[in-house]
Amino acid sequence: MIPFVRELEFEYGRCDEVSPRIRRVIARNPGPFTYTGTGVYIIGQGEVAVIDPGPDQEEHFEALKAVLAGERVTHVLVTHHHLDHSPLAHPLAQAFGAKVYGLPAPAPHASDAPALEEGGDDRFRPDVILADGDVLSGPGWTLEAITTPGHTSNHVCFALKEENALFSGDHIMGWSTTVITPPDGDMGDYFASLEKVKARGFQTLWPTHGAPVREVGPFIDAYVAHRRAREAQIVEALAAGFTTIKAMVPSLYAAVDPRLHPAAAHSVLAHMLQLVREGRVAATGDGLDAEYRLA
């Protein structure tokens, strides 16, 4: 079982000091994929970085401008291009004379994926494209970009050196598992990125949605174990004679509301594509309509 952390004390638009170098403002965009809303992190005092400015809502923008009044924003950082993370990045940067840092949105894919997310801003382009290991700094703070593809191909986390903490975006969230939707989401990349983060030994994870994760190693282990258990169930379904994803989903997700089965099918697809790459499964056809069997 994943030891989810779901308790969070907050008020929309309020600025909370959550550590000596970190403040947080939560946007009023709660939902099934955003939990209580987008948590915007402000790093430092006086000369600051802002991580994931969030949705382009007037109320939220005004709250951020009020909090940042009198300070110099030197960096606006974006973990990925989804609409609950990136739209306010350029307006905020323009208001404070800063630049936007991150990775550009991938090219749009033709996909029959259901609306699992808040959606993506396919036009998102940062002013500065980051590479893995790039370091950004200000008075009293140092941030390192850590590329973590999986949830999206352009996902980046940011490590705060002075507190051995990681701003984990949607890569790891305390309140829920992360959605992996092909073709941009990739299960193999996701497993590798989880191991990459675990190897760093961070003391705290600060997800964009929800509360911080303090027991980082055991939490990531549980995250991985959950995915591996689902993978094992898929292999068992194939061994039992199921050959299509649509046929196996009602059995694999028997305890889940059937209205969520289309979303579950894409999660199974992410696992199946990785099993095919590993040579453990053979496919005839593509995607959800393919037939699969154990290799």
Q: Which CATH fold would you assign to the domain 225-294?
A: Arc Repressor Mutant, subunit A (1.10.10)
Nearest to 208 by CA among 155, 163, 258, 130: 155
Give the residue carrying structure tokens 């140092």.
142
Give the residue carrying structure tokens 């995607």.
287
Q: Looking at 18-27, 112-121, 140-149, which range is the least confident one?
A: 112-121
pTM: 0.94
203 compared with 107, residue with greater pLDDT: 203
Q: Which CATH fold would you assign to the domain 15-222?
A: Metallo-beta-lactamase; Chain A (3.60.15)
- Cβ burial of 218 (10 Å; 0-12, 13-18, 19+) is exposed
Q: Which residues in 156-168 are b (16+ Cβ under 10 Å) and which e?
A: bbbbbeebebbbb
131's tokens: 């590479």
List the beta bridge partners of residue 207.
169
- Tally Cβ neighbours within 10 Å of residue 40: 24
Distance CA 143, CA 121 (A): 25
pLDDT tens, position by position, 269-283: 999 999 999 999 999
What pLDDT is stored for residue 122 in this prediction?
Answer: 87
- Tally Cβ neighbours within 10 Å of residue 183: 15
Q: Where are the domains of the chain?
A: 15-222, 225-294
- Tally Cβ neighbours within 10 Å of residue 147: 18
With a CB cutoff of 8 Å and minimum separation 6, the contacts of 240 are none
Do 130 and 49 contact (CB within 8 A), yes or no? no
Amino acid at position 44, single letter: G
Alpha helical stretches, state H, the chain: 58-68, 89-96, 187-199, 216-239, 245-252, 261-277
Count of CA atoms in the C-beta half-sphere (13 A) of 267 = 21
265's tokens: 């099918």
Distance CA 164, CA 177 (A): 23
- What is residue 49's three-state secondary structure? strand
Per cent of the chain over pLDDT 70 is 97
pLDDT tens, position by position, 134-148: 999 999 999 999 999
273's tokens: 């594509």
Give the residue carrying structure tokens 């994943």.
2
Q: How far apart are the first and last CA of the chain?
A: 30
